C-alpha cells in the first residue's frame, strides 16, 4: 500500500510539471495535424484528387503515434541526463522510495500526457472522417493504446539507462526514434518496406500501437492483435531489468549506498 502511495505521489508531481510546461502536450497535439494535412495535400495533387479522407486519417494517426514515441524517448533520455547533471539521480537512488517506482511513475506520466494528446487528435480525426458514431470506437482505442504504449515504456527505460552510461541523451533517443519512424508504418503501410525492415518493425511495439489505434477506430479490429500486444509487454520487463542494472552501475560509480 505504501508503495502505491509513493507511486501516486511521484505520478502526481510529474503530471503537475507537465501542466506547468504545456509545450510537450501542445506539440504532440498539433504536430500530427500540420504534417498529415501537408502530406495529404501533396498526395491529393499528385493523385489528381484520388486521395480519400481515410488516407488523411491513416497519416493523422500515424503522425500522432510517431510524435508520441519521439517525445517520450527524448523526454526519458533528458530526464536521466538532467538527473545526473543536477544530482537528482543520486538523491533518487538514496531516497526511501524504490528508484524503479520513481522511474515507472515518471514514465506513466509520459504515457498519460501522450493519451491526452491522442484524445485531441483522435476526436477531431474521427469526427471529420467517420462522424460521431465512431467515437465509441475511439474510446476502446484509447484503452488498448494505453496497453500498447507500456512496451514503449520498457524501451524508453533502456534509452534512459544508456543515457546514464554514455551521458549523451540525443544520439540514443534520436537513433531509437529514427528506427521506429522508418519501420513502424507511421506514415506508409509497412508492407511497402523490404522484408528485413518489415521484420524489424514487427519486433518493435510502435507498429502495434499505431495499427491497434487505426483498426479499432475503423472497426476492423481482430482479437488476434491482442496476442501481439501482450507479447510486446516483454519489452517492459526487459526495460525494468536493464534499468536495474544501470541503476546499480551508476550507484557504484558515484558511491551511493542503500
Residue 83 is inside which H or E element, if any?
helix 53-86
Q: Given a cut of 90, is residue 97 above it in pLDDT?
A: no
Residue 206: partners with Cβ closer than 8 Å, 6 or more residues away: 65, 66, 69, 152, 180, 184, 186
pLDDT given at position 206: 92
Q: Given a cut of 90, is residue 200 above it in pLDDT?
A: yes
Mean pLDDT of 173-189: 90
Mean pLDDT of 156-160: 89
* Pairwise pLDDT comparison (168 vs 19), residue with the higher score: 168
pLDDT tier for residue 256 given thresholds of 50, 70 and 90: low
pLDDT given at position 2: 67
pLDDT given at position 148: 86
Give percent of the chain with pLDDT exceeding 90.
Answer: 20
Phi, psi of 209 (to 5 degrees): -60, -50
Q: Residue 52 and residue 240: Cα distance in Å, rounded?
A: 43
Among 90-94, 107-111, 241-245, the least confident range: 90-94
pLDDT tier for residue 99 given thresholds of 50, 70 and 90: low
Among 23-27, 112-116, 149-153, 206-210, the least confident range: 23-27
Predicted confidence (pLDDT) per residue in 53-72, tens digit: 888 999 999 999 998 888 88
pLDDT given at position 112: 86
Mean pLDDT of 30-45: 88
Q: Given a cut of 80, is residue 29 above it in pLDDT?
A: yes
Q: Where are the domains of the chain?
A: 2-252
Residue 46: partners with Cβ closer than 8 Å, 6 or more residues away: none
Residue 106 is inside which H or E element, if any?
helix 99-129
Arithmetic mean of pLDDT over the chain? 83
Q: Given a cut of 70, is residue 126 above it in pLDDT?
A: yes
Q: Given a cut of 80, is residue 84 above it in pLDDT?
A: no
User: Helices 224-232 and 135-166: crossing angle, nearest 10°?
Assistant: 20
pLDDT tier for residue 195 given thresholds of 50, 70 and 90: very high
Amino acid at each position: 500500500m505504501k508503495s502505491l502511495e509513493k507511486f501516486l505521489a511521484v505520478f502526481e508531481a510529474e503530471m503537475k510539471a507537465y501542466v506547468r510546461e504545456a509545450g510537450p502536450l501542445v506539440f504532440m497535439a498539433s504536430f500530427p495535424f500540420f504534417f498529415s494535412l501537408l502530406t495529404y495535400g501533396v498526395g491529393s495533387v499528385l493523385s489528381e484528387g484520388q486521395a480519400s479522407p481515410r488516407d488523411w486519417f491513416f497519416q493523422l494517426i500515424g503522425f500522432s503515434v510517431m510524435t508520441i514515441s519521439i517525445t517520450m524517448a527524448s523526454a526519458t533520455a533528458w530526464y536521466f541526463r538532467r538527473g545526473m547533471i543536477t544530482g537528482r539521480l543520486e538523491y533518487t537512488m538514496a531516497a526511501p522510495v524504490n528508484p524503479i517506482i520513481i522511474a515507472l511513475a515518471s514514465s506513466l506520466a509520459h504515457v498519460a500526457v501522450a493519451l491526452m494528446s491522442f484524445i485531441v487528435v483522435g476526436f477531431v480525426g474521427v469526427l471529420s472522417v467517420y462522424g460521431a458514431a465512431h467515437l465509441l470506437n475511439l474510446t476502446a482505442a484509447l484503452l488498448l493504446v494505453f496497453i500498447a504504449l507500456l512496451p514503449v515504456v520498457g524501451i524508453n527505460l533502456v534509452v534512459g539507462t544508456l543515457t546514464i552510461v554514455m551521458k549523451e541523451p540525443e544520439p540514443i533517443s534520436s537513433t531509437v526514434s529514427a528506427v521506429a519512424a522508418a519501420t513502424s508504418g507511421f506514415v506508409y503501410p509497412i508492407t511497402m518496406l523490404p522484408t528485413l525492415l518489415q521484420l524489424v518493425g514487427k519486433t518493435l511495439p510502435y507498429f502495434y500501437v499505431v495499427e491497434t489505434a487505426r483498426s479499432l477506430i475503423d472497426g476492423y479490429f481482430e482479437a488476434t492483435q491482442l496476442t501481439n500486444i501482450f507479447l510486446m509487454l516483454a519489452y517492459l520487463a526487459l526495460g525494468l531489468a536493464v534499468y536495474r542494472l544501470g541503476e546499480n552501475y551508476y550507484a557504484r560509480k558515484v558511491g551511493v549506498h542503500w
